[in-house]
Structure 1
Amino acid sequence: MYKADRNAENYTFDNIKAAACIFVILIHCKFPGVAGDLFEALARFGVPMFFAISGYYLLKDDDSTGGIRKNMARKLKKTSIVTLKIWLIYTVYSFLYAITVNYGIKEWVNEKFNLFEFSRLLLFNSGKFIYDFTYAFDHLWYLFALIYVYLLVFTFAPILKKGAKPISILLLGLLFFGELLKIYYPIRPFGISVSVWYVIRNWLFVGVPFTLLGYWMHEDKAASLIKRPHTLGMLLVITGVFFTFFEYKKWGQTEVYFGSLLIVVGLLLFGDSDNEDAELKTEQQSILSKQLSFIGKNLSANIYFFHVMVISFLGWCVDRINPDFYGSLVFMTLRPIIVITITILISYCFYVVKLITTKNNNNLRK
């Protein structure tokens, strides 16, 4: 059951998280032209990959019902605290931004905090409760969806082992069935068009199945059952990239491509097969790989959390310095690079502050 290495450091997954968080930025801050569209399509594997890695590390050594629930309670507490902190930071930022552009306080409050927006948050992990005109992306849906996933695992802990695989396969099937409905038969469940992004991209059709996918691939030792997991993983990733580009060309942008699923499965095979001999693999890492591992392990969460704020604030600054520059090809080409660089630097500053604070607290305890 992988109990011996369930909590082992996995540098391949750290590398993957670093790449995934940078790709996610390219969804919200695109390069111009066809290249930007292709990068955005390819980047759709990013958030499903985060869910899958969360599933890979879903449990500790104790996989009894009590052990699962104890671990989920710990994860729920930690994730809920992080979610509240990040949401409060963005809410304060939104309020300050609104004031600077002479947006009425009453209008701002009424637009964000009402029953309709709260219902969208509860049902779909979206709504202006977690985004608005000041930062136009609801990337915080990931945290709220993760809370739902942990709650469901806590509730249905007795059937997790037997139910994970069939439930993930069923929900992934419904996810791609929903994507087909968006293209060929856009129904309106609950009066909301299936074409609205959050009807498909939410805790139920993305969060749960990809988390369970990572969980059962780990539990079933998927990589060890395959003769050459690295080769198959590489083939799946390459096939997934081509599938993604084909799907984009035929159907345009969507929330999750079938190619995204192939990429996630391929990368899970890579990470799962690299879980052994981690110490040896660390010594063999290149300088670039070590830097990516550091980013993935220590910075990727904050890169994901704060890149949208960086995008928004950069736009706010440019609007006040030279609004015409914002639409220029030069700026739009440089903008993703600027956002990625600033976000990594900010995340590194958070890491250093946390490191110093932890060290000082340890010294005080002594």
Structure 2
Amino acid sequence: MATRIDSVDTVRLLAITGIIAIHSGPFRNHGFEATDEYQLGGVLFNQLARFAVPFFFIISGYFFGYKVRTGANHFDIASKTCKRIISLYLIWSLIYLLPYNVSSLFIDGSDGPFSLANQQFNLLLEEPSRIIFVGAKGHLWFLSSLILCTAIAAFLLRYRQTGLLIALAIGCYVVGVLAKAYEATPIGIELDFNTRNGPFFGLIYFVTGYLLSGVNNREKWFSYGLILLLVGGGLGLVESSYLHREYGASPYPDFVFATVIFGLGSALMSLSNHPLLCNRKLATIGQMTLGIYALHYMVIDLLKPLDIAFNHPLWEVGYVFVVLLMSIGASKLLLAFPRTKKLVA
């Protein structure tokens, strides 16, 4: 199978839109009155977008597995992949340490951009672990986690420890969920470390992708995926709502146990190559996901004054697509120059 699948690239676009929705926080603007309707809208937007991060991990694991199963060496693939991701992680961390946020001039005055950059730099100094696991901006945790997941999987698979890898992935996920969404429950655990970072959540999805790469019969993957997507999304809403109502947990959890089903459903649909998902125009934009991902938080920061000023439901929904379109435009601009192309491709 070719390494470029239109249906995967189409879902990549949908997934990055979901990530933008999570980070831009529709209906969670502090300017809104905290009515039940707005809170419900915020929860729905947040939770229905939670397939996105698992999808990206699963697809990464799938293509890693595809290369391995076609004869490539585990360590060679992992080394090449990790070097590339580490480079992106470091470069974008440095970029996000720059005083780029000129919109803060309208909020914090003339020294706003430099003040925010200094705060971010001091945060890294105060919490050195962030340098490794998060970087200079919160969304970069994904790159760090993907590096660790790739390295762990390559090592254990190279020595034929697939069972151990699966067990480790499941164990990490259980610990991760119990220490985050379930922390306040009787079965929850308290950790000083944020289990969103590292391999706690990413590994199970990466391993799932690897296992999917060994399955040849994809005839019914679209149907199976759609069922899992609906079931996982619904269960995730119920699970997060229950934890919030009964134990005061955040209504916007990163991951719950049902998120596994949700993410798997989206991945199966994307890998099915179903005609409904094979939209060439959308797939072409989906190939720009890396650039959109790297740039979108910068756009969110720059548009923050507008987000504060516009307290209207139409803006809350439209804001997501404004950020998406601006991120696509900025990514295209960087792709046009050889020296910046490597930052987004």
Instruction: State TM-score, norm by structure 2.
Output: 0.79
User: CA–CA distance in 2 between the matches of 1:169 and 1:102?
Assistant: 42
* 1:323-334 pair list within 5 angstroms: 325-327=309-311, 331-334=315-318
Give, in whole Å, the separation in 1 of the partners of 2:100 and 2:21.
22
The alpha-carbon deviation at position 22 of structure 1 amounts to 0.3
| Local SS of the residue matching 1:140 | helix
Matches within 5 A, 1:64-75: 67-75=73-81
Selected match of 2:42 from 36, 39, 45: 36
1:200 counterpart SS class: coil
Contact 2:15 2:51 in 1 (8 A): yes
Q: Which residue in the other structure is 1:171 paired with?
A: 172
Q: Which residue of 1 aligns with 2:298?
A: 309
Quote the sequence identity (%). 20
Letter of the structure 2 residue corresponding to residue 307 of structure 1: H
TM-aligned CA distance change 1:64 to 1:349, over 3 Å? closer
1:346 corresponds in structure 2 to 330
Q: d(CA) in 2 for partners of 1:264 and 1:105?
A: 34
RMSD, matched Cα: 3.4
Corresponding position: 1:240 with 2:232: yes
What is the CA distance between 1:313 and its match in structure 2?
Answer: 0.8
Q: In structure 2, how many angstroms separate the alpha carbons of the residues matched to 1:241 and 1:36?
A: 15
Equivalent residue runs for 1:137-216 within 5 Å: 138-156=138-156, 157-159=158-160, 161-179=162-180, 181-185=182-186, 187-189=189-191, 192=192, 199-216=194-211
Please tell me whether the aligned partners of residues 218 and 272 of structure 1 are also in contact (alpha carbons under 8 angstroms).
Answer: no
Compare 53-62 and 70-79 and name the one that shifted more: 53-62
1:1-366 correspondence runs (5 A):
5=1, 7-32=2-27, 33=38, 34-59=40-65, 61-62=67-68, 67-93=73-99, 100-101=111-112, 108=119, 111-114=122-125, 116-122=126-132, 125-126=133-134, 129-131=135-137, 138-156=138-156, 157-159=158-160, 161-179=162-180, 181-185=182-186, 187-189=189-191, 192=192, 199-219=194-214, 221=215, 224=217, 228-251=220-243, 252-274=251-273, 289-297=279-287, 299-316=288-305, 318=306, 325-327=309-311, 331-353=315-337
Deviation at 1:53, TM superposition (A): 0.6
- Aligned residue identity for 1:339: V
5+ long unaligned stretches in structure 2: 28-37, 244-250
Residue 146 of structure 1: CA displacement?
Answer: 1.4
Larger Rg: 1
TM-score (norm 1): 0.75
CA distance, structure 1, for counterparts of residue 116 and residue 301 of structure 2: 19
Q: Distance in 1 between matches of 2:101 and 2:328?
A: 25
Q: Which has the higher helix share?
A: 1
How far apart, CA to CA, are the structure 2 residues paired with 1:294 and 1:75?
22
What residue ranges of structure 1 are gaps of 5+ in the alignment?
A: 132-137, 193-197, 275-280, 359-366
Q: Could you report, residue by residue, the CA deviation over 1:209-247 in whole angstroms, capped at 9, with x for unpaired residues?
A: 21111111212x0x62x8733322211111112112222
